[in-house]
Structure 1
């Protein structure tokens, strides 16, 4: 009887979309945005400078870091 040759399934790993540094920057940006919203929500004084100036700036910085993390190109050596 002839033996049946089963085809060998070639598995190759697909690389991640981003590198580790990109993911770390994304996590950092999410944490900064959350911090900005916590500062905005805290305290009872509605018109305090920390709520109307500092917290929105912190949130925008967090979003900027997120955009940079997404647009950052991978390094050539990996």
Structure 2
């Protein structure tokens, strides 16, 4: 009986389930896409102003994607992986 308890105590359980890791990966992809869309818009000549840095993509879309990605990450962390297995 004592040996069984030791085996159960030494068993490595992951904190997150497969579903959690899938959502984390999706969140990381959305965050990376947001940062990729945010990049660029610079000018080759430092004496010339480039209005491309104020494009809708860099000001609105990219930060929104980054925030949505962080929201997906929070959801992935708070998601209960054992919810479906208890039913």
Residue 77 of structure 1: aligned partner: 85
Q: Distance in 2 between matches of 1:26 and 1:18?
A: 10
CA RMSD of aligned residues (A): 1.9
Q: TM-score when scaled to structure 2?
A: 0.71
| Among candidates 61, 66, 71, match of residue 64 of structure 1 | 71
Q: Distance in 2 between matches of 1:18 and 1:63?
A: 17
Deviations 1:24-56 (A, max 9, x none): 100110111011000000344100000000000
Q: TM-score when scaled to structure 1?
A: 0.79
Residue 30 of structure 2: aligned partner: 32
Residue 52 of structure 1: aligned partner: 59
Q: Mark the runs of 5 or more structure 1 residues left unpaired by the alignment.
A: 1-7
**Higher gyration radius (CA):** 1
Secondary structure at the residue paired with 2:54? Answer: coil
Offset at residue 76 of structure 1 (A): 4.7
Q: Distance in 1 between matches of 2:75 and 2:53?
A: 32
Q: Mark the runs of 5 or more structure 2 residues left unpaired by the alignment.
A: 43-51
- The number of residues matched between the two structures is 71
